[in-house]
Amino acid sequence: MTVWFVVAVPLVMMFFALAMERVEDRLKHVAVQEEEVEEFLEQARPNEVRALYGHGIGRALELFRLRRLGGRAAKSKTRRPRGVNAS
Cβ atoms of 64 and 48 within 8 Å: the answer is yes
pLDDT at residue 82 in the model: 54
List, for residues 26-80, the tens digit of each pLDDT value: 877 666 777 888 888 888 888 888 888 888 888 888 888 888 888 665 555 555 5
Confidence of residue 11 (pLDDT cuts 50, 70, 90): very high
Q: Confirm if 67 and 87 have CB atoms less than 8 A apart.
A: no
Tell me the domain boundaries of the chain.
Answer: 1-31
- For the cut 50, the answer to whether the pLDDT of residue 87 exceeds it is no
